[in-house]
Structures are given as C-alpha cells and as structure tokens.
Amino acid sequence: MAETLKRTALYDEHRRLGGRMVPFAGWELPVQYDGTGPTVEHNAVRTQAGLFDIDHMGQVEVAGPDALPFLQRLQVSDLSDLPVRGARYSLMCYADGGVVDDIFVYRLGDQRWWVIVNAANRHKDVAWMQAHAVGFDVEIRDLSDETYMLALQGPLAQAVLQRLTPLDLNTVPFHTCAEAEVAGIPTLIGATGYTGEYGYELFFPAGEAVTMWRALLEAGRADGLLPCGLAARDSLRFEPCLPLYGHEIHAEVDPISARLGWAVSFAKGDFVGRDALLKVKLEGPKQVLVGFEMVDKGVPRGDYPVAVDGRVVGKVTTGMKAPTSGRFVGLAYVPVAHSAIGSPIDIVIRDQPKRAVVVKRPFYTPAYRRR
C-alpha cells in the first residue's frame, strides 16, 4: 500500500503510552494500548471513563440565512424543533435511499450549525453538501483540519471534565452542547458520544491537542480513566447496536432496513431520498438488520455469510464476544422472513454452518435509555 497515512497531533502521545498503531480510514490510530488492551479499555468506559482520539472525524460548518432549510433537505431528520445548543443523530441519503453517511448535527446558533461526519467520508460528504447547496443562501466550511476532537466517555466522565472547566456541567444535559474553557482552552463541549455511556465530545483548536489530552488523562488518573483504542471504540458502539458506516450502513442499504427509521421524518417535507425511503417504509424492507446470538460455539465476525437450510441468505455486519456480557453476538442482514426474534439462522464460520438465533437488540442498554 503506497498510500501515506495521516497522523494525528497525538501520534507521539499514543506511541509513548504503548499505542499499537494501525491504519484506519486513512489515518494511523491506536487500535489498543499495550498494558491494558481492548477488554480492559472497554470495561473502563463501562465502569469508569475512557479517552479517545477521534480527530480523524470531520467537522463541517453550515451557516447562513438558509442553513435550516438546506439541512432539512440534505438529511433525513426534522431539525426544525432542534433548539440552539441541541445535538441530534441523523443520516444523509442518496436519492435511492442508500446512506451517504451518518452524522451528528449540532445547532450552535440560529443560523449556524455543525455537522460531524465520518473520517472515511469527509471529502465525499463535503462535496455532496456543496452539490446540494445550489439555490440556498448558505456557506459550507470544512473545519476538520483546524478543529481537534476528543471523546471522554463513561459514568465518571462528568466528574473528570468538571475538574477542568468553570462551567457547571449539570447545565449541559445529554445531547446538548456549550462553549466553555477546558484546561484553559476554548472548547465546544458536546454531551454526546458513541459508546452507550454518558460522556462528552470535545472540539477545540488543533494546536492544543497535546495540552488537552494530557490535562484530561491527569484529571482522570485517580478515577481510572484510560486512553482507549479503536478496538474498544468498536465493541463499545457495537453492544448498544450503534451503527458503523461501512458495516451496518453504506450506499447499498437504506436507514429503514438498518432499523434507523426513528431518525427519519417523513412529515417535515421533501428531502433527498424521501421517495425511496417512503417506498421502503410502505412496502417493507427486503432485508433487515437483526441481532443474533450464537447457539453453537464460535465467534461471529463481520462479512461471515448467514445461511438458512444450507442456502446463503445474508451477511454478518459486526460480530464478536461482547465484552460486557460475554455473549457471542452479532448484527446481520437477513430476509424479513427470518428476522423474527427466535428465528434460527446459521452463521458460516470457516465453511462450517454454526447455529445462531435471532435475539432482541440492543445487547447493552445505553445509560441514557435506562429508567
């Protein structure tokens, strides 16, 4: 592979902490840290707190008098009721309903919004946004290079962050954001994340990355805060069944089939992909994403075939031994006829069909959904 991988400003910090660097979406990032490892890092986030370098993710500012109508047309959710300082998960779709990317939308002002996009899709997304801005009075700016992004996640994330900011974090509830100093650095604090735990995503000037990273690790040392790699990030988002672009969602699958219909608003008016998605909703999807658990012994993994009666009918998108429960579980696309809870399916592991059964999703109830 001749392609040059990009390094984040924290590359040397990761190496010093024993980070095992691997290529991911064009970047060289730690998959795990030696001395802890994926399971320990995963458990730290579930029980204490973890810190993730996610600078590879992109930040795109949309501003101007037509920002709201433009975003209403560009993505699938209804943002008209999102207040200033609100944040929401959504998706951008192609006209045929396939997913361009899943995104997080922050409303920073009446006419100023941020759209957080996946690293691998950044340039494609910005081009897609520009192409659809014709006729709208908006300015679209890719702020990814000058903006650094860290995720601080876990039940102790608030206590850790509170030590570094004068802002009362009780005034920043889940899925809102606020601007404040953190470790003396002007920061946009988003009470968001992708682990199934409460926590924060922090946006600040890229030149301050090392200062912020060290300050957070130091502030959380006594609480068991650990730096966490990509492996833990994947298992943490997998257990609550949060989709990952390129696996559960991509250009060939629509949000309805991916069980993300809750994010789609048909009532808000027209948007790119609406007709195609409405058709899927009315006619029902052909394949749907299901959760499954192994009955036979074996580790399910992404891309393994799903078979019924010896015939391949679908594909695993993500599978693993879920670290929190120890269950061998996965997500897979299967025909609707085999999607009911309790349906037997086979996962083909190294050419051997292994029995599994469709089970309820998610595999882990996110902290913010517990009553």
d(C-alpha 304, C-alpha 214), whole Å: 40
Nearest distance in Å: CB 293, another protein: 14
Our CB check for another protein shows the closer of 36 and 59 to be: 36
Report which of 140, 139, 147, 94 is spatially closest to residue 119, judged by C-alpha positions.
Answer: 147
Q: At closest approach, how far in Å is the CB of 15 from another protein?
A: 13
- Angle between helix 38-47 and 230-238 (nearest 10): 50
In the complex, minimum distance from the CB of residue 321 to another protein, in angstroms, rounded to a whole number = 4
> Which among 183, 230, 191 has a CA at the least distance from the CA of 210?
183
Structural tokens at position 172: 């920043």
Nearer Cβ to another protein (255/302): 302
Which residue, 43 or 176, has its beta carbon nearer to another protein?
A: 43
| Pairwise CA distance, residues 87 & 108, whole Å | 9
Residues whose CB falls within 8 Å of the CB of residue 312, separated by 6 or more in sequence, listed in order: 305, 306, 348
Residue 231 Cβ vs another protein, minimum distance, rounded to whole Å: 6
* Cα pseudo-dihedral 351, 362, 367, 117, rounded to 10: 70
Angstrom distances, CA of residue 265 to CA of 25, 77, 188: 30, 5, 28
Structure-token pair, residue 250: 């991509």
Residue placing its CB nearer to another protein in the complex, 278 or 295: 295
Shortest Cβ 360–another protein spacing (Å): 22
Cβ neighbours of residue 288 under 8 Å, at least 6 residues apart?
Answer: 257, 259, 333, 334, 336, 339
Q: How far is the CB of 145 from another protein (least distance, A)?
A: 28
Q: Among residues 28 and 181, whose Cβ is nearest to another protein? A: 28
The minimum distance between CB 299 and another protein, in angstroms, equals: 4
Contact 8, 21 (CB under 8 A): no
Return the number of the residue (159 or 299) whose C-beta is nearest another protein: 299
Which letter does DSSP use for residue 223 in this model? Answer: G
Binding region for another protein (CB under 8 A):
31-32, 34, 37-39, 231, 235, 297-299, 301, 320-321, 328, 350
Nearer to another protein, 12 or 34 (CB): 34
Structure tokens at 347: 């996962």
| Nearer Cβ to another protein (297/311) | 297
Nearer to another protein, 31 or 117 (CB): 31
| Helices H / strands E in the chain, number of each | 8, 20
The least CB distance from residue 195 to another protein, in Å, is 16
For the bound state, the minimum distance from the C-beta of residue 2 to another protein, rounded and expressed in Å, comes to: 17
Q: Is the separation of the CB atoms in 202 and 191 below 8 Å? A: no
**Amino acid type, 344:** P
